[in-house]
Structure 1
Amino acid sequence: MSSTIKKLAYVHLNSKNPQETARFFEDLFDWETTEGENGQIYVAVDKYHHRITIYQNDEPGLRAAGWQVLNKRDFLKTQKVLDEAGVSYHVGTEAECEERKVREFISFIDPSGNTAEVCYAPYVTRPNCQSIGSLDILDLLHVTLSVTAAEFKANLQFYEEVLEFNVSDLFNKRIAFTRCSQNHHNLAMVTSEEPGRRFRHFMFEVRTFDDVMKTLMKAKKLNIPVEGPSKHGNCQTVHVYMPIPGMGKGLIEIGWNHKKILDDENWEVVCYDFEGEKLAEFIDVWKAPEVQKEKISSK
């Protein structure tokens, strides 16, 4: 089973204060920001026109996750898959495509109420540039969403059976890590009843551990709250988290050493079935359980 979708192309963020959010990315990572025609702010981190778009909204959160197919054939196949599943979608107009800096896109609402977009041919404006700013960025790797217990099963079924994301592993039937690439996860969903928190974090993968530590040190220098460095037990990612100003409880994760799954056919999907200290230790293998217990809900 292989999804037509191959990567996470971009994230659209709703921020109470887009200028403050943009300054955060500029100050901490030295990423480039530009303003669009409709007041949105683009954040560039690598060869693509942008990876983050910030919109003003009094309800902060994820406006949309933008997924990418590699060619027109797979773009059309994705539409056919949605048609066969009875999922309605919007085909982007020429102006909407230009706003997103892509050749074509469609958008739809997943069973948890989150907006997903699938694009084809994103604009590349720096063909010889691997990354911009102070970090050696490899890719925009994943996004993590909150869903209610009532939504979890249907949402997982949609991404696994309709869009054909592979499940990497599960936690207690309430957390799922799914992928559309060789990365351990590109989309994670966490069961939570916390009001107003549908978006948890998105993650950029960096080339070296030094990049993680540079982020940590600069965040401390700028008096930006930072959690980590820490290491996850399932994906082996060494990372730090920072809250994004204007985004409520939304976080950005900078991570290194993310596990790659090179053989889908022989990857064993498991459901980790433990709670308490064992779960705390697995979420962060570097911290003592009594320290990490209070941190779990913040991811």
Structure 2
Amino acid sequence: MSDAITIEQLRYVRLGTADLKGAADFASRILGLQLVDRTETSAYFRSDYRDHTLVYVDGLDAGQAIGFELRDPDALAHAEKLLQGAGFATTPGDAEACAIRKVRQFVSFRMAAGYDIELVVRPLESGWRYHGPRDAGITGLEAIALRGAPDASDQQVWTRLLGGKVSDWVGDAAYIRFDEAHHRIAVHPSQEKGILSVEFGVEDVDLVMQNAYHLRGAQARIMDGPGRRTASQQLFLSVAGPDGVNFSYVAEGERLASPRRARQFPRKRESFCAWGSDTQIPEYQ
């Protein structure tokens, strides 16, 4: 096997929250995600064919986690061996933890920036067509933006250990891909820790603007955009979510069917947004 872990797909995000009821209302009423399961301690939301792509968990001590799918149990065992060899403490999921995540198996490890990575096998798909509570035009979970180490040292975990490829840099912020999308992970050097933004694809520019009007009408706090990312050519719009995590709608964007060299853009506002839109997010200023 390869000396890097092969990620098949970004699957879900799990977020601990200080207000489960309020967070669930935000995900449904503001974002337009479909509530598919609700327990006393968790709320699960769909955005596409996956059983769920966002879970809010009661209590900030539940932390933050990102789930990635691996091909099979052999790939998971190989990944665990590589992680341990790189000095990471790994935690296999027991039967209860697997049931909560709706996967057959998983192994988790903690990143230095304060969130967990969960490598999962056989996550549940949904046999039902996705249908949100409003016509937000959502096509699926697209990407995650992360607050990384100020010296960008944690990016090597994504590229050397987890098999990601850098598509572009803006300053020391890296846009990292695992498939043909320009990026699935963006790592922004920061003095803060944790997940910066969870990004959902929408159909086109009309839906980006339609959601902008909806957010303003709902008195949600727009943090960034509408705009177009210089590196990926994605249209984007970001809104403040619960517990310091932003959420974005994105559309269009470069696809990399064949490899190309990673480009270096200067750390200037116009490198984050070609339209010159305002931002309230320090990592994008």
Cα offset, 1:130, TM superposition? 4.8
Q: Are the counterparts in 1 of residues 50 and 124 from structure 2 also a CA contact under 8 Å?
A: yes
Matches within 5 A, 1:3-14: 3-14=5-16
Which is further off, 199-208 or 221-230? 221-230
Q: Could you list the per-position Cα deviations for residues 146-198 of structure 1 after superposition, in whole angstroms to 9, with x for gaps in the alignment?
A: 12324x21x111111111111112222x311112121111111111114xx52
Is the counterpart of residue 201 in structure 1 residue 190 in structure 2?
Answer: no
> Which of 224, 236, 241 is the aligned partner of 2:238?
241
Structure 1 Cα separation of the partners of residues 47 and 185 of structure 2: 20
SS of equivalent residue, structure 1 residue 102: coil
Extract unaligned runs of 5+ from structure 1: none
Cα offset, 1:255, TM superposition? 0.3
Extract unaligned runs of 5+ from structure 2: none
Structure 2 Cα separation of the partners of residues 202 and 76 of structure 1: 28
Structure 2 Cα separation of the partners of residues 38 and 76 of structure 1: 33
Q: Are the counterparts in 2 of residues 179 and 186 from structure 1 also a CA contact under 8 Å?
A: yes
**Identity, % of aligned positions:** 20
Q: What amino acid maps onto 1:281 in structure 2?
A: E
> Which of 180, 183, 187 is the aligned partner of 1:185?
183
Q: Are the counterparts in 1 of residues 48 and 141 from structure 2 also a CA contact under 8 Å?
A: no
Q: What amino acid maps onto 2:156 in structure 1?
A: Q
Q: Are the counterparts in 1 of residues 34 and 45 from structure 2 also a CA contact under 8 Å?
A: yes
Q: What amino acid maps onto 1:167 in structure 2?
A: V
Structure 1 Cα separation of the partners of residues 166 and 24 of structure 2: 33
Structure 1 Cα separation of the partners of residues 218 and 114 of structure 2: 36
TM-score scaled by length of structure 2: 0.88
Structure 1 Cα separation of the partners of residues 105 and 274 of structure 2: 42
2:211 aligned partner: 215
Structure 2 Cα separation of the partners of residues 203 and 30 of structure 1: 13
TM-score scaled by length of structure 1: 0.85
Q: Could you list the per-position Cα deviations for residues 196-244 of structure 1 after superposition, in whole angstroms to 9, with x for gaps in the alignment?
A: x522101011222222122112112212222421110001110111111
Q: Are the counterparts in 2 of residues 111 and 158 from structure 1 also a CA contact under 8 Å?
A: no
Is the counterpart of residue 259 in structure 1 residue 248 in structure 2?
Answer: no
Q: Would the alpha carbon gap of residues 69 and 34 (structure 1) be closer, same or farther in structure 2, given more than 3 Å must change?
A: same
Which is further off, 207-216 or 14-23? 207-216
Structure 2 Cα separation of the partners of residues 251 and 59 of structure 1: 19
Q: Could you list the per-position Cα deviations for residues 7-57 of structure 1 after superposition, in whole angstroms to 9, with x for gaps in the alignment?
A: 210001121111111101211244232554451111122222211111122
Matches within 5 A, 1:3-152: 3-33=5-35, 36-37=38-39, 39-58=41-60, 63-125=64-126, 127-130=127-130, 132-133=132-133, 134-150=135-151, 152=152
Q: What amino acid maps onto 1:219 in structure 2?
A: L
SS of equivalent residue, structure 2 residue 12: strand
Q: Would the alpha carbon gap of residues 160 and 283 (structure 1) be closer, same or farther in structure 2, given more than 3 Å must change?
A: same
Cα offset, 1:110, TM superposition? 2.2
Q: Are the counterparts in 2 of residues 4 and 77 from structure 1 also a CA contact under 8 Å?
A: no
Q: Could you list the per-position Cα deviations for residues 93-152 of structure 1 after superposition, in whole angstroms to 9, with x for gaps in the alignment?
A: 111000001111110012434211011111123x241553423333312111112324x2
Structure 1 Cα separation of the partners of residues 59 and 12 of structure 2: 18
Q: Are the counterparts in 1 of residues 34 and 130 from structure 2 also a CA contact under 8 Å?
A: no
Q: Are the counterparts in 2 of residues 7 and 186 from structure 1 also a CA contact under 8 Å?
A: no
Cα offset, 1:58, TM superposition? 4.3
Structure 2 Cα separation of the partners of residues 208 and 73 of structure 1: 39
Structure 2 Cα separation of the partners of residues 224 and 63 of structure 1: 23
